[in-house]
Structure 1
Amino acid sequence: MQAQAIAARTYAYWHIQRGSIINNSNEFQVFVPYAFERLNPAGRPDNVAEPCASANLHPYQRKVCAAVAPRWYVTTAATDLPIHAEFFADIPVRTLSGAPSYLQAVDDPISSHPDVTLNGHGRGMSQRGSGRWARGNRSFHLERDLGAWSVTWTRVEQLIVHYYTGVQLRDAAAGNAPLLPAARWNPLQIDWGTSDQRPPILWRGQRYPISVEVQNTGLEPWICSTPNVSYTLRYRWQKPGYGLLTGSGSATLCGTPPGDPSPLVGLVIENIPHWGAGAYTLWFDVHVVSVYGDYWLSELGWPAYGVSVCIDGPCKTQLPLVLRTES
């Protein structure tokens, strides 16, 4: 919902900058009058002038108000001017390209169910695709389950930089200040070799080959030069009471451009730490070796991706597939 608010605000800002007029038709983006008011079965908000300041809001209305409150919008990296943030309903597997470079076609593998059909022009942000990423399910609809996906995104920034290539997110309420680091990435899928998209129980002393589809959502290509510069997908182990321990597996990401294509790389999970049985966290992150030193993208402000795994036997509680991403 917040991603939709950002895209719609950006779209309106772009037209305001051009001096154009948006009519209420599918020539632009349709506004449905009183949709917000009808979310409350008890009646319309009691503050007509400022509906979100009403005292009688329904929980769904409060969610809408929370989503539209931040004055965030999308720009190119070089300016604070809004992009033509097109958005649409749905498309299977992959979006379509538009004329600006930020409307580049990108893989959208979570939208791969046979029921998904083209609905709209296919450029920019997929509304239903965004719902799938936020749920971690091949269905965008809360009341329909089409099967868990191996990746869930818990932050609106992940959605924005997935569908719009080489962009910056800015806060109009803070002098158009940029909100995102230049170096970023998203996992699009993780193949654990299981039928339910969930990691299996991992046993110490065993090796577990997996595949991860990695999207470079940053501003620059990942260009490597041996031995001075490299980009690799790696992971770190964590368990309550212990610190982060870097795993031995890695996969090269050299040559990956921003946006598309998103390589599917092989990675081996092995050498599990001797911290005893129980729930561990695998933090996936992009590791960079450069002339300026070694670092993780999470150290620059972009979240690592955390997956909870069970080590050496069934865990006492059911594990969530994905943890909230690390800040």
Structure 2
Amino acid sequence: MSYSRTKYMLLLGFLLALLSTEMASASNFTPPSQITVRMYRLQFPSGVIYQPQELCSSGNTNFGCTAFVGDATYPYPYGTANPVTIPIETDYLLDVIPQEMGTYYHPTALQAQAIAARSYAYWHINRGSTINNSTQFQAFIPYKFESLPPTTFPDNPDNPCASSNLNSSQRIVCSAVAPRHYISYGTYPNDDLPAFTEFSADVWNRTVAGSQPYLMAVDDPISTGCDANNYGHGRGMSQEGASRWARGNRCSYPGQGDDPWSVRWERAEQILVHYYTGVRLRDANKQILIPADRWNPLQINWNTPDNRPPIVYHSNTYPISVEVQNTGVSDWTCGYPNFSYVLTYRWAKAGHGEVTGSSSASVCGTPKGDPSPTVNLTIENIPNWGPGAYTLRFDIYVTSAYGNFWFGDSGWPTYDVSVCVDGPCKAFIPLALKNYP
């Protein structure tokens, strides 16, 4: 092992030890298991409080008090209690998620929605806010989960997601809620406190800055066609934008059409760190789940008529451009100890290992969140592994005084694209594949 690598490993060990100490002595925040909500009759379908105000009570069948409007069989389910204290995971979120984002959106986007909704609830609980069931906070309509078509009442009402009779939409919601993760932001010892994760229906091209440092305005170039629109306050996560990124399509769900985009993200955390700048993702035990060094490609220009990767040949070169977002917790400042940050790529093929490409582009000075620079690369010097499908693996590479490293080394996904080399290739090659550590 080289001297520089030894120094790097020693520093890494020290930082991990420090992190462990911080985790053991962080704030006294404990992820709550229950939430208290004041329940009102709501206007349909907007979800705002009906005027004059009417509190939900026993037997009430108005919208907001129940999803089964006008059905005396399923009125307001909490009797005379109002406000009501209920479990977050097995009651509140199961009704919030499908009300805030329909189950026809991509499942990965729904998982991002569940994490954002949980974090938003945690933030208000931690501040002692008086929460209600309207869109002033996030819409909570009792029986929304049960009303998902075809109407199904879980055979395990105490833990609905453990039921044996769930319909397909209910299973989608349960899958989204299952990872009990939340978003945090802050400085030690309060870096485990929940973030104010606002979200909005949709934006056109760019989100709107909010009241918190992690609610920066960021480019959202996938939201520039098909069904994209400015709908809502525009702060934080765009719900329809989240589904577009998960689909790799400018249409937020199949019913809106098909307009493929050059980038697709398959992990909820890629969506979340795009919209919430510099945050951490934690589990129910407050353990950090994602590394500090992160990036997302926002779009790739392949310089082809359909903007898909061309069939490439060893004798040719192929210029491309990539819009790069720094989704990590710090700016990419080049100096000491990190001398350079570059976007580059590696070639990979089954049975042949990996070879680092010969082209790179500096992304020094890129701040976290926004703006996101567009850099130029040249695809060239392709390994001679015979014709077939190769993987073009994009990643950020750092030259450091403590040893050089790829962002992918710490667990953040590379961005992998399958490319046909010296074709023709026998099978259909998807636009992009993701490498999950």
Is the pair's TM-score, using the shorter chain for normalization, greater than 0.5? yes
Structure 1: which 5+ runs fail to align?
A: none
- Residue 283 of structure 1 pairs with residue 393 of structure 2: yes
Where do residues 76-87 of structure 1 align in structure 2 (5 Å cutoff)? 76-78=185-187, 79-87=191-199
Asked if structure 1 preserves the Cα contact closer than 8 Å seen for 2:228 and 2:250, the reply is no
Q: TM-score when scaled to structure 2?
A: 0.72
* CA shift digits 1:164-186 (9 cap, x unpaired): 001000111xx201111111100
- Residue 67 of structure 1 pairs with residue 176 of structure 2: yes
Residue aligned with 1:134, SS: helix
- Residue 163 of structure 1 pairs with residue 307 of structure 2: no
Structure 1 pair 42–65 and aligned structure 2 pair: CA distance change class (3 A): same
In structure 2, the partner of 1:195 is 305
Asked if structure 1 preserves the Cα contact closer than 8 Å seen for 2:390 and 2:419, the reply is yes
Greater shift, 47-56 or 119-128, is seen at: 47-56
Question: How far does residue 31 in structure 1 lie from its aligned partner after superposition?
Answer: 2.0
Query: Matched residues in 1 for 2:286 and 2:210: separation?
Result: 25
In structure 2, the partner of 1:24 is 133
Asked if structure 2 preserves the Cα contact closer than 8 Å seen for 1:287 and 1:294, the reply is yes
Where do residues 43-192 of structure 1 align in structure 2 (5 Å cutoff)? 43-78=152-187, 79-113=191-225, 115-172=227-284, 175-192=285-302
Q: TM-score when scaled to structure 1?
A: 0.96
Residues paired across the two proteins, number: 325
Asked if structure 2 preserves the Cα contact closer than 8 Å seen for 1:154 and 1:325, the reply is no
Identity %: 60
Structure 1 pair 77–204 and aligned structure 2 pair: CA distance change class (3 A): farther
Structure 2: which 5+ runs fail to align?
A: 1-109
Considering only CA atoms, is the larger Rg found in Structure 1 or Structure 2? 2
Residue aligned with 2:331, SS: coil
Query: Matched residues in 2 for 1:323 and 1:53: separation?
Result: 32
Query: Matched residues in 2 for 1:258 and 1:227: separation?
Result: 18
Query: Matched residues in 2 for 1:12 and 1:39: separation?
Result: 23
Asked if structure 2 preserves the Cα contact closer than 8 Å seen for 1:148 and 1:196, the reply is no
Question: How far does residue 45 in structure 1 lie from its aligned partner after superposition?
Answer: 1.7
Greater shift, 201-210 or 224-233, is seen at: 224-233
Q: Which has the higher strand share?
A: 1
Query: Matched residues in 2 for 1:66 and 1:47: separation?
Result: 16
User: RMSD of the alignment, in Å?
Assistant: 1.5
Question: How far does residue 312 in structure 1 lie from its aligned partner after superposition?
Answer: 1.0
- Residue 4 of structure 1 pairs with residue 116 of structure 2: no
In structure 2, the partner of 1:34 is 143
Residue aligned with 2:274, SS: helix
Query: Matched residues in 1 for 2:151 and 2:344: separation?
Result: 52
Asked if structure 2 preserves the Cα contact closer than 8 Å seen for 1:10 and 1:74, the reply is yes
Structure 1 pair 32–235 and aligned structure 2 pair: CA distance change class (3 A): same
Residue aligned with 2:361, SS: strand
Give 2:394's aligned amino acid: F
List, as ranges, runs of 4+ consecutive aligned residues in structure 1 with deviation greater than 6 Å.
none
* CA shift digits 1:237-256 (9 cap, x unpaired): 01111101000010000100
